[in-house]
Amino acid sequence: MKFGVVVFPGSNCDEDMVYVLSSILNQNTVKLWHKDKDLQGCNAIILPGGFSYGDYLRSGAIARFSPIMEKVSEHAANGGFLFGVCNGFQILCEAGLLPGALLHNDNRKFICKNVFIKAENTDNMLTHALQKNKALKIPIAHGEGRYHTDEKTLNQLKNNNQILFTYCNEEGIATADSNPNGSLENIAGVCNATKNVFGMMPHPERAADGELFNEDGKLIFKSIIESFQSVNS
């Protein structure tokens, strides 16, 4: 398989993502500039975190109009794998590729710290190799990470098993105190109805190297790789 990491002006987690995929997990990985109109044969596209276009409007609101997003949208419409992290998640919501929106944190402050999340279901490429309800320690770094949607969409997410992750405590229990930004029902990540487009707010690429004394995030990337391998075996 081949990973493509899309780089927007202001992306600052692209190098982290490329490092984990290529150096830690030994995957064929290339960068895709936001003005490109060619996905270079990549079958897994990732939108990394950062501050695309400075986030002077809503986070991701400008990046959704970058030239490459037309090809990214086509890729998703054709069933291709697409994964957005933090600002990448925001871009996917702004582009209408994922339901809901990411709003200002309820304390109106930028938050950068380790949190715990758990997989809510394991019937998709991103979480199938994870242990359901087991707490994973993953860092967050955002000012607009509060997931919100309307009641109808929330019910659809629940009924279709589209909620990927929720914030929880170290024991894997979702509580008000374990919700770092006020997200609706502690939601930390969702996918689309066809389960080929994924978004999460915490940064698994920042928890995927033994040098950082935390490799919980690597489990998520291994799940992706194993999913592709099982499909092509």
Catalytic residues: 86, 203, 205
Q: What is the DSSP letter of 131?
A: P
Q: Which two tokens stand for residue 109?
A: 């402050």
Cα–Cα dist 104/102, whole Å: 7
Those residues whose C-beta lies under 8 Å from the C-beta of residue 189, and which sit 6 or more positions away, are: 89, 117, 126, 163, 164, 165, 198, 199, 200, 201, 202
Residue whose entry in the numeric block shows the structure tokens 């109109």: 37
Cα separation values, 125 from 56, 113, 223, 231, Å? 33, 26, 6, 10
Please say whether the beta carbons of 3 and 191 come within 8 A.
no
Residue whose entry in the numeric block shows the structure tokens 């009924």: 159
Cα–Cα dist 210/21, whole Å: 14
Residue whose entry in the numeric block shows the structure tokens 């780089």: 7
Those residues whose C-beta lies under 8 Å from the C-beta of residue 135, and which sit 6 or more positions away, are: 116, 117, 118, 168, 169, 170, 171, 172
CA torsion sign, 144 to 63 to 220 to 18?
negative
Cα–Cα dist 53/64, whole Å: 10
